[in-house]
Chain A
Amino acid sequence: MTQKSKPMPSAKTEPSRWKLRSGFVPIYVPFLFLIPALLLLLSFRYIPAVSAIFHSFTYWNIPEPGEFIGLQNYQALIDDPIFIKSLGNILKYMVGRTALVLVMAFVGAELVYNLTSDRWRNIWRMVFTIPMVIPFTVNLLVWQQVYAGRQGMLNEFLTGIGAMARPYPWLGRPDTALPALIFIGFPAVAGFGFLIILAALQNLSSEVNDAALIDGCSRLRRVFAIDLPAIRGPLALILILSLNQGMQEFAPMLVMTQGGPINTTMSPAYYLYIQGFTYGKHGYASAIGAVLMLMTLVLSMFILRMRYRRAYDVAV
């Protein structure tokens, strides 16, 4: 009887691969729509990516063509103490910054989410969105003024309340410069992370919360037992974005410290910029970029593996 049973719907009953799902349309139509995107990506993303990897094996000073030198750039990188130091710096920066942003965005979003009044929830959401539209450079320049040794806000505040006897140049000392960069924008609530987490919390079903409340679960316990596991998806997203961005961080160093003092805030991306555009060593800079790309890939894979090893998302 088995032969007589109805055949399972197989690939054959579906329209074959190159036919279009709804109606029949000339095959060139989708490609016509894709041409502008593909042309741009080819000229400004794919070809430059290949070119960057290729030129990392060359001595290259634009506009001269590159001259093949094998692995010399990479060997020089390993022996370059500034580059090695920049790797350590960026690791600290990345971890510190991500921890700060993730924790504060979560705290801010929970505070707003737990309010009873819808009106106040919207007001606070707006309050912590407005700083995001201030140009990034302006934010950095304002924070340079916060940390400034003379006429700096932090110093004026600390000496004003008597916590410190004399002003301290936060960005000018090796031991405080990197932490100062990490704490830019403190308390770091206002940002994409806050908005994403708040949106995720507001999408959670209120029935679960009501049930927890009836069962006598305190608000604080609910935050850790229900909210936190339920929004793992968005949290992982923010983690990946923040770590990736931290790895390539460049602007705070360029604007506020120029990598100093004594290279304690040098980052690989800023070092790439200096080597490429100050010294014209475009091959060497490409090698830095290739290492940076490798590290980004490894990091992203690692996070995705961590996330999907034991994850079983229900709500998100």
Chain B
Amino acid sequence: MSQSSAWRRDWPLMLALLILAIITYVPFVFTVINSFKINAQFFQEFWLPTTPLHPENYARAWPAMGRAIVNSFSYSIPTLILTLVISGLAGYAFARYRFPGRNLLFISILALIMIPGILLVIPMFSVIIELDWDDTLQGVVLPWVSVEIVFGTFLMRTFFETLPREYFEAARLDGANEFSLLIRIAVPLAIPAFSTLAILNLLFSWNDIIWPLVAIFDSERLPVSIGVLSFAGAWSTDYGVTFASYVLASLPLIIIFAFTSRRFMDGLSGGLSI
């Protein structure tokens, strides 16, 4: 089909998409524009950029937001690694071995999806209080991992089951032990599934509010999801600085997305349509 007839066919769709995109993006573009204004400029001109720009808004927001970003990574990265390792091991065990209690175990893990997370927040809070784990890394990370390995085990099992048995049998005949079958054959083939899980995991740990809200008391240790909330509360009278903090909070994941966009999008749709 030639270029022009494609356009003739597509222009109503493109127009509709453009309108949807504009409505979607206006609030965020507005936020970026106004993050460079001081209050006087904001009250004078609501929608459009004004000069001079005030990048010092970012300098004001940075100490608190930078700390929150570092905190978020310090919680998210261990969560990510543990989730991948533990889900990989469990999914592999369910996919490759037959053992007594296999189905019962798997169903009882899947059933956890039905339990609302918020119900478990209270008893989990009592557990970390008893262990004296409030304001600690493990107090945030281990409960998060326990949430994420449910779907993770399911995803990895589904993936490992698609791998042909012959690969493993051949390697076993060559004398490989069970652990090296996993490390040398299954894991390299499962990189796409692992990256899906990693992306969903990152979005979850970056966005979760309730658990850090409960498990962290020290405001110096708050992750981005709550740090931006408390910063916005404290600076609510200074619009520019507040908006700058929103932009800073959004940047890390946008940068990660920019470098991995292809895999990111495939991972998002692939992981959930299983």
Determine the distance from Cα of A63 to Cα of B125 in the docked complex, in whole angstroms. 9
A289 close to B142 (CB less than 8 A): no
What per-residue 1/0 map shows which CB atoms of A269-282 lie under 8 Å from chain B? 10011001100001
Contacts of B89 in A (CB 8 A): 33-34, 36-37
Determine the distance from Cα of A49 to Cα of B109 in the docked complex, in whole angstroms. 13
Contacts of B232 in A (CB 8 A): 141
B99 close to A27 (CB less than 8 A): yes
Output the nearest chain B residue to A19 by Cβ-Cβ distance. Answer: B98
Q: How far is the CB of B187 from chain A (nearest CB, A)?
A: 13
Determine the distance from Cα of A70 to Cα of B143 in the docked complex, in whole angstroms. 29
B119 close to A52 (CB less than 8 A): yes
What per-residue 1/0 map shows which CB atoms of B235-274 lie under 8 Å from chain A? 0000100000010011001101100010011001110110
By size class, the interface of chain B is 35 or more
Interface of chain A residues 269 through 311 with chain B (CB within 8 A): 269, 272-273, 276-277, 282, 285-286, 289-290, 292-293, 296-297, 300
A199 close to B20 (CB less than 8 A): no
Interface of chain A residues 147 through 176 with chain B (CB within 8 A): 151, 153, 156
Contacts of B96 in A (CB 8 A): 21-22, 30
Output the nearest chain A residue to B145 by Cβ-Cβ distance. Answer: A40
Determine the distance from Cα of A116 to Cα of B270 in the docked complex, in whole angstroms. 23
Answer yes or no: B87 CB below 8 A from chain A CBs. Answer: yes
Answer yes or no: A81 CB below 8 A from chain B CBs. Answer: no
B99 close to A300 (CB less than 8 A): no
Determine the distance from Cα of A27 to Cα of B123 in the docked complex, in whole angstroms. 34
Determine the distance from Cα of A196 to Cα of B87 in the docked complex, in whole angstroms. 23
Among B26, B93, B178, which residue has its beta carbon within 8 angstroms of that of A34? B93
B residues near A (Cβ < 8 Å) are 1, 6, 9-10, 13-14, 16-17, 20-21, 23-28, 30-31, 42-43, 46-47, 85-87, 89-90, 92-94, 96-100, 102, 105, 109, 112, 114-127, 129-130, 142-143, 145-147, 149-150, 153, 165, 168-169, 172, 178, 182, 203, 206-207, 209-210, 213-214, 224-226, 228-229, 232, 239, 246, 249-250, 253-254, 256-257, 261, 264-265, 268-270, 272-273
Q: A133-B250, A196-B272 are in contact. List 19 more A-B contacts (CB 8 A).
A: A40-B142, A40-B146, A46-B112, A47-B123, A49-B112, A49-B115, A51-B123, A52-B123, A129-B264, A133-B256, A134-B254, A135-B225, A138-B246, A142-B27, A187-B23, A199-B269, A241-B272, A277-B125, A286-B119
15 contacts between A and B (CB under 8 A): A29-B93, A40-B142, A43-B127, A43-B146, A44-B147, A55-B123, A129-B257, A133-B250, A137-B209, A187-B24, A195-B272, A247-B116, A276-B125, A293-B115, A293-B116
